[in-house]
């Protein structure tokens, strides 16, 4: 009940099969199962792929709330807007290695694309002392 409320899962009841829920609500159930374990580190792989805009916003708000409460959230996303809007820090990988770290205002579409394509303009190289 707590997770249904926290994640605003739309269901007619707790006895409804998860497969009968919408894709966004199914995704929320998956996240809820892990949150019940009270993790300190949360790993997500494209957590909003294929879900509606309203559910995306709810998941973004939840991620921010968890991060503000001290959870470390690592997530992989191919959505530049998602990275720009959600991340405090982005590590861009290229050819199996961290090629660039972007922090705060450095996280822009231009910087992400240039880094993802391994195009280095002025100031586009990896930051000194970056650890993974």
Summarised one tens digit per residue, pLDDT across range 30-41 is 888 888 888 899
Residue corresponding to tokens 């409804």: 16
Rounded to the nearest integer, the mean pLDDT of the chain is: 84
pLDDT at 100 over 70: yes
CATH topology of domain 1-76: Rossmann fold (3.40.50)
Q: How far apart are CA 19 and CA 3, in angstroms?
A: 17
pLDDT at 127 over 50: no
Q: Quickly count: other Cβ atoms within 10 Å of residue 86's Cβ.
A: 22
Contacts of residue 115, defined as CB under 8 A and 6 or more positions apart, other chains included, come to 92, 94, 99, 100, 102, 124
Summarised one tens digit per residue, pLDDT across range 46-84 is 888 888 888 888 888 888 888 898 999 998 888 888 999
Give whole-number Cα distances, 56 to 12, 36, 59, in Å: 21, 20, 5
Copy the structure tokens of residue 29: 């159930």
More confident site: 92 or 120: 92
Residues 103/89, Cβ–Cβ less than 8 Å: yes
Q: How far apart are CA 118 and CA 37, in angstroms?
A: 38
What is the model's pLDDT at position 120?
66
**129 — pLDDT class (breaks 50, 70, 90):** very low
**CB environment 29-50: b (16+ within 10 A), e (fewer):** bebbeebeeeeeebebeebbee
Question: Which residues of the chain form CATH 3.40.50.300?
Answer: 1-76
What is the model's pLDDT at position 35?
86
């Amino acid at each position: 009940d707590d997770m249904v409320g926290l994640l605003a899962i739309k269901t007619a009841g707790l006895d409804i099969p998860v497969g009968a829920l919408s894709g966004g609500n199914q995704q929320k159930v998956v996240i809820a199962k892990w949150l019940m374990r009270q993790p300190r580190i949360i790993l997500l792989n494209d957590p909003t792929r294929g879900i509606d805009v309203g559910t995306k916003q709810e998941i973004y708000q939840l991620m921010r709330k968890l991060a503000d409460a001290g959870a470390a959230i690592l997530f992989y996303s191919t959505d530049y807007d998602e990275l720009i809007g959600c991340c405090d820090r982005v590590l861009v990988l290229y050819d199996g290695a961290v090629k660039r770290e972007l922090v705060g205002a450095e996280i822009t579409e231009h910087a992400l694309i240039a880094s993802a394509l391994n195009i280095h303009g002025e100031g586009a190289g990896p930051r000194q002392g970056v650890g993974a």
